[in-house]
Amino acid sequence: MNWQADWGLRLRMFLTMFLLFALYIVFAGVLTAYIGGGIFLFGLMFGGMSLVQYYFSDTLTLRSMGAKRVSADDYPELHASIERLSQQADLPKPKVAVIDSSVPNAFATGRNQRNAAVCVTTGLMRTLDRDELDGVLAHELAHVKNRDMMVMTIASFLSTIAFMIVRWGMFFGGGHNRGRQGGGGIVVAILVSLVVWIVSYLLIRALSRYREYAADRGAAAITGNPSALASALMKISGQIDRVPKEDMREEAEMNAFFIIPIKSGIVGRLFSTHPPMEKRVEQLRQLERGMTAS
């Protein structure tokens, strides 16, 4: 496996993480000034809940999506492909799960490389040929290898706290209205939380898009066949456009996990967790040309 670094992509991810870190430092400082020690208790409580959710992320995610773990007896070819690709990626074989859904898609979950799961839909297996399915599975394994679940959980932690403060700000701050800052301090904290949530929302989605590019590159390195993943992306995108709207709504909440996000109009595309399919395909074609030239 030729796992080459894309330093331009790494730089963009680093800058995005740096901006998030700087934003959260300012956020913590403002909340400490206007709310005081209460924010730390809130953070510890929410942090504990997030830690439990993260620790059991594979089980919780599969259960929430209605996915079922399957054995090698049930899906021998799927298991064989994931085992082979895991060896090529130098990863432990993840758990394998299947969703009975006409939406052709796949996702990976799990807190680390030894506690991961890869899930595909029955619609995906019907849509793709073997090489294309290998490309999609390798993309999900690249997410596991890059520890994307951990990265995105860390990146979104304080953003979620900001959202909770905005949503329940008055309840959270009710006991502090008699303090030195009064109700005005709570209003400032809520407004700052709103700004932090909006800005971090955009930054986290940018980071997610960069990590999708990285997973595409990882899949090309694992399989040595970028064109197969490019073909799979085009097939999946075309099939999703024809999926009934009822099925689309059932899957829409898991967009961030999927290899192709479910489209939800211009706003959904503007704030998408995934890059445009056309740009992903072009990157894969460039990788293919590079491999052919070398």
Q: What is the token pair recorded at 254?
A: 């898991």
Task: Give the Cα separation of 77 and 84 in Å (integer).
Answer: 11
Look at residues 85, 42, 57 and name the one whose alpha carbon lies nearest to residue 228.
Answer: 85
Q: 110 - beta bridge partners?
A: 116
Tally the C-alpha atoms within 13 A of residue 262's C-alpha that lie toward its C-beta: 22
CB 222 within 8 A of CB 154: no
CA 120, 124, 125, 126: dihedral to nearest 10 degrees? 150
Task: Give the Cα separation of 162 and 27 in Å (integer).
Answer: 9
Q: Would you tell me how many other CB atoms lie within 10 Å of the CB of residue 130?
A: 10
Task: Give 163-206 as a DSSP string.
Answer: HHHHHTHHHHHGGGTTSSSHHHHHHHHHHHHHHHHHHHHHHHHH
Look at residues 251, 252, 294, 258 and name the one whose alpha carbon lies nearest to residue 274.
Answer: 258
Q: What is the token pair recorded at 238?
A: 């075309």
Q: Could you say which of 77, 83, 132, 140 is catalytic?
A: 140
* Host H or E run for residue 97: strand 95-99
Active site residue 140: yes
List, by residue number, the catalytic residues: 140
